[in-house]
Chains A and B, each alone.
Chain A
Amino acid sequence: MTLAVFFGCTFIAFGPALGLFVFTIARDPLRIIILIAGAFFWLVSLLLSSLIWFIAVKASDPRDEPLQKGLLIFGVMFSVLLQEAFRFLYYKLLRKAIEGLVALSEDGCSPISIQQMAYVAGVGFGLMSGAFSMINLLADTLGPGTVGIHGDSQLYFLTSAFMTMVLIFLHTFWGILFFHGCEHRRWWEITAVVVMHLAVSGSVCGVDPAPSRDPEVLRDVPVPSHPCPSLHPGGKSGHHLLCNIFSPELGDPGQSLWGRHWVHLRQPANWCGLL
């Protein structure tokens, strides 16, 4: 849809995060390190959950639709749980880091508190998850077409951008809440974060706004190299993050009319799983 939409969606999705970064994180190198490490932890959690899901899909029969659907739901839930587990691991790591920082400092005080670390870690998780959510869409906004030829809403890009913005905020809040819960041993806070995360993931994946007239969405499944089936025939589909990690080289040689073989990322449409 051209540059206007590309920039519009980028600013909507990442504008607030940019503001947070520029004014609260960028000036302190320690915070930047924590941000990047947080992003990295999120990435690793996604990698592991993708690996598990990929193995599960490869081991199963690609033609069995309910099984594939079930595997996808399982994949999403497992991914959410793994992300929270990594958040906990990161918390542990940061706790250790604080001890180290206290030892290194001159006045026995850590230059950064655990609450600040929680906030920055949340932003880190959010940014990376937003990036995975949005980058492919942004790539498609540069082409001349807009969503809709199969009956989907035209506002797809706009809503995706807003969802990404919300997602980044959510991760930030969850980070703060989670670390607070771990710090003060309030398990209900941790549980609340996990439950909220599952709920948001599940609700977005399960939304089926208009039945897609695209039967190809189902045909994704039989191609053995393609591990990204859709959630259900009408749905907005699957866990494309899992696909993102696991199928950079996979994909079918489509468009071979002129003998040119595209090797492309096979991902289902997207709203899931970045959460």
Chain B
Amino acid sequence: MAALGVFACPTLSWGGANLSSPVPSRGEMRGCFFPPGSCQGNSVERKIYIPLNKTAPCVRLLNATHQIGCQSSISGDTGVIHVVEKEEDLNWVLADGPHPPYMILLDGNLFNRRVMLQLKGTSRVSGLAVAIAKPSPPQGFSPGLKCPNDGFGVYSKDYGPQFAHCNNTVWNPLGSGLSYEDFDFPIFLLEDANETQVIKQCYQDHNVPRDGSGPEYPLCAMQLFSHMHAVTSTVTCMRRSSLQSTFSINPEVIDLLSQYSIPLSACAFLTPPVHALQIDSHSFFWNIAPGAESAVSSFVTHLAAAEALHKASDVHLLQRNIMFTFFQGETFDYIGSSRMVYDMEKDKFPLRLDNIHSFVEMNQVALRNASVLWMHTDPVSRLNKSVEVQVRILLDILSNSSVGANVTLQEAGYSQPLPPSSFQRFLRARHIPGVVLTDHRTAFQNRYYQSMYDTPENIQMQYPEGLSPEETLEYVTDTAKSLAEVATVVARALYRLAGGANNTSAIQADPKTVSRMLYGFLIKMNNSWFQSIIKPDIKGILGDVPQHYVAVSSPVNTTYLVQYVLANLTGTVVNLTKEECLNPEKTPSSEKELYEYAWVQGSLEPNSTARVPYCVRSTVRLSKALSPAFELRQWGSTEYSTWTESRWKEIRARIFLVASKELEIITLVVGIAILIFSLLTTYFINAKADVLFSIPRDPGAVAY
């Protein structure tokens, strides 16, 4: 029986800033005293520029062979603004306009592959600002790939070639692959409708052509700064970074995408079933990843199932243990799951691959059609008799668990491969019997997969008007109820899988908890429940709008929060003082190797600002999710994820008026003329001073 060790969490070896601000930055503190042009905030500067504060940039990401994303020049890109609201407006930019290059303000509905490739091909575009479309584009929008994480899953030419590269099923048919294109101009997202309106107003006032002729100077222009230091690919970037850090020339240019995954184990390890899913998401823009359907719905259901199981009376007596795992970085070629499999193979993880009895994964479960939940299995591994038998048992247990709940479980069948899921990485290593539960049979139901429109509205989370934040936190939406039913089914199935023999009708997921989690992870992180379950020293992580991008400085807010929610839902409150809780090794019966102790803030006392903190004992651990490619230093690996994110110095956007070249030249000419004139005049007056200022008087007079 393996003892639970504390998982080592080495600090990230390559830089990364701390998480002191809600949006982590990798820029620098700069004092500004008199350097020309770089001081912001004095009134002359305010007369000239209007800064755009609520924007999100598109940054550069690199993998083993390519770079994707956007780049601006080192001193920003400037262009005359042109508002493109329909396709015809593009002609002005591409051909007719007399003042290239242009900075386009694109309506969100036109942000598609066709338009973007047109803009990519021309030199008349110096940048792009996309106004987020409200409401979301009805035809769907997904900048991800049609076949997510292709090449890093289990299907390849050696294993199920008929399923590789989405030959059989295209999972994300709306995927345009826009996130994976490389643009050489900056692209920003304008999140605030007021700022978009200011830009449009400026355009209307100055840039609209009148009477058929072109617009006249001064013209309204925009400047975007998003210079990225890294180029080409991860291989090049790491090589350059290591050279620079060896010789201490410059700060590093690249950061590895890494995170912490959270495995939770109920007790000792004896062939546990593993229950897993991903908690991160991505969209075209940096740190904009609401991920409502793609990530949040599934991990919230997962957490609810963990809570439901924890409340079952005989969970400690189960024959097998259940490990709930949350993987980070799955969007980028399965960073988290590939690392866990690697650790299991190298015996760095307390669990070994051959100890895993079965695997249940949940992916995208919020948009069920007619209450159907589909069970996907891997047809290739089921060709093996023993695996087939166990998968059959798994499927039957799941189907039986759905009796009585408003969830119909159906099998996707032998003709379907597994959808993109973390289970595929485990299958690569060993043929474990497993099932992936989703709300879609073939293509995703999610029409906004990996985009900025995958918001609560996408999963039909609706609240009545006029509720206060506290009431909204407690209000149970229909989405929450439906996810709670899925959680109930999964919890019961896990109970059976772990060998439980009793009646499972008592195992119920609580829709209130689900609703609170959905509110916290999708709408407002800074709510009273989250505040009460976290440690006092990290309460700064509760920013306003939650985003679930994997990022480089770890752990991100989402990881922390999931860790603490899990600890709260599955842990026990123990009666320890603060010192004992923070130093459990000093207490004799604490079993420090088995449990984690956290001193959390607690809720507010009524009518007071003081909180009642307490100690929570749980079995939640963080495990580093850095791709094995970086451990092995194989920057060009095709086996493991090699995604890295570029570093940058500053990212900002502003609008202003530009003057005509004629005015500038006139100013210069006038200046030179005045200079020359005054030099000549002074010279002559000085030379002829005694003539000009002669005073016919005594020699005591002074002359100039």
Contacts and interface: CB of A to CB of B under 8 A. Distances in A.
B4 interface: no
Main secondary structure of the interface of B (DSSP, over half): mixed
B674 A16 contact: yes
User: Which of B27, B36, B43, B682 has most A Cβ within 10 Å?
Assistant: B43
Given A19-B678, A146-B658, A149-B656, A7 B671 contact: yes
A261 B656 contact: no
User: Which of A5, A135, A257, A261 has most B Cβ within 10 Å?
Assistant: A257
Interface string A5-44: 1011111100110111011100000000000000000000
A261 B32 CA distance: 10
A19 to B, nearest CB: 4
B191 to A, nearest CB: 11
B43 A262 contact: no
Nearest to A243: B42
Interface stretch (B362-370, B501-509, B661-669): B661-669
Interface string B640-663: 000000000011101111110001
A16 B28 CA distance: 41
Interface string B675-704: 101110111001000000000000000101
Contact of A139 (B34, B51, B704): B34
Contact of A157 (B17, B36, B667, B674): B667
Given A154-B663, A255-B53, A15 B28 contact: no
A142 B27 contact: no
Contact of B678 (A15, A152, A252, A265): A15
Interface stretch (A62-70, A88-96, A112-120): A112-120
B50 interface: yes
B218 A144 contact: no
Contacts of A11: 671-672, 674-675
B33 A265 contact: yes
Interface size grouping (class) on chain A: 35 or more
A145 B652 contact: no
Contact of B47 (A113, A156, A252, A262): A156
B46 A255 contact: no
Contacts of B41: 251-252, 254-255, 262, 264-266
A5 B662 CA distance: 11
B664 A2 contact: yes
A265 B39 CA distance: 7
B32 to A, nearest CB: 4
Contacts of B383: none
B45 interface: yes
Contacts, number: 222
B24 interface: yes
B533 interface: no
Interface in B555-584: none
Given A16-B674, A136-B42, A147-B48, A8 B668 contact: yes
Interface residues of B, number: 69
A214 B46 CA distance: 9
Contacts of A269: 43-44, 46-47
Nearest to B42: A267
Contact of A149 (B48, B54, B652, B664): B48
B42 A22 contact: no
A145 B49 contact: yes
Nearest to B31: A263
B218 A154 contact: yes
Nearest to A255: B40
Nearest to B56: A257
Given A136-B42, A137-B44, A269-B47, A260 B29 contact: yes
A195 interface: no
Given A9-B671, A145-B221, A261 B29 contact: yes
B6 interface: no
A20 B684 CA distance: 11
A165 B678 CA distance: 11
Interface of B: 17, 20-21, 23-25, 27-37, 39-51, 53-55, 78, 202, 218, 220-221, 223, 650-652, 654-659, 663-672, 674-675, 677-679, 681-683, 686, 702, 704
16 contacts: A1-B659, A8-B671, A9-B671, A11-B671, A15-B675, A16-B674, A18-B679, A24-B704, A119-B704, A139-B37, A251-B41, A257-B652, A260-B29, A260-B30, A265-B33, A268-B43
Interface of A: 1-2, 4-5, 7-12, 15-16, 18-20, 22-24, 113, 115-116, 119, 135-140, 142-150, 152, 154, 156-158, 161, 165, 212, 214, 216-217, 220, 228, 230, 237, 240, 248-249, 251-252, 254-270
Given A138-B36, A145-B657, A258-B651, 7 more contacts: A1-B658, A5-B659, A12-B671, A18-B675, A144-B221, A154-B657, A255-B652
Per CB-CB distance, the 4 closest pairs between chain A and chain B, nearest first, are A145-B656, A259-B25, A11-B671, A8-B667
